Amino acid sequence: MREIDSNKTRRAEAFSLWMQARMPMVTIFKTLDVTPLVKLSAKRDYKFNMLLCWCIGKAASRTEDFYLLPVEDKLMQFDRLAVNTVVAVRDGGIRTCDIPFSEDLEQFNRDYLRLTVQVCDTGKPHDLGDDYMVIGTSALAQYDIDGAVNIYAGFYNNPFVIWGKYRKKLFRRVLPVSFQFHHVQLDGIEAARFLADVQKEIDQLKEKVI
């Protein structure tokens, strides 16, 4: 992580407009067709949550603005991305787990399984620190929700994706998601394009089902 001059980036105007805003977070809702993930999860014994986290990381890795993040009153640039997931631990609580994003699905899967088991067993969060721009996720997989607007704490400006239980729709499986982001990092167009790219990554996994 390193500080950069916001005036020398394409986010210069957004930085001047929204950095000091009291509520700079924006939330967009979208329904994804996750049928390929459900089928691939059943066929290859992958966890559905892992597959969706990988698609989120893959789409974000193709979006330049995801490597920038407002931190306090500065604009920071990162070289690497990670996806954070929430893990239920043995004492009944929850902890967070940062998983470094890899273009290689098998590598991401290995890291996901190893790190989430580690967090579950130890009860301690896994934090990659300042080396990664982290995309937060939260799966309320047992509950049928339409979306969620996350809290804004003023110090955690990272993008965040929330979803619940996927739904049956004829022969498809669909999943409403909510995507919260800081307006300095993304505009609505980029955020909507990111969600469209998540759907594209999901669709491309159809090849692995066949």
Domain extent at residue 180 = 2-209
Q: What is the pLDDT of residue 153?
A: 84
pLDDT, position 155: 82
Radius of gyration of the chain (CA): 17
CA distance 202 to 198: 6
- pTM of this structure: 0.96
Give me the mean pLDDT over the 105-126 stretch. 97
Spatial separation of the C-alpha atoms in residues 86 and 96, rounded to whole Å: 5
User: How many domains, in total, are found in the chain?
Assistant: 1
CATH number of the domain residue 146 falls in: 3.30.559.10
Instruction: Give the pLDDT confidence score for residue 154 in this predicted structure.
Output: 81
Q: Compute CA distances 65 → 26, 39, 154, 194, whole Å.
A: 15, 32, 20, 10
Chain segment 129-141, per-residue pLDDT in tens: 999 999 999 999 9
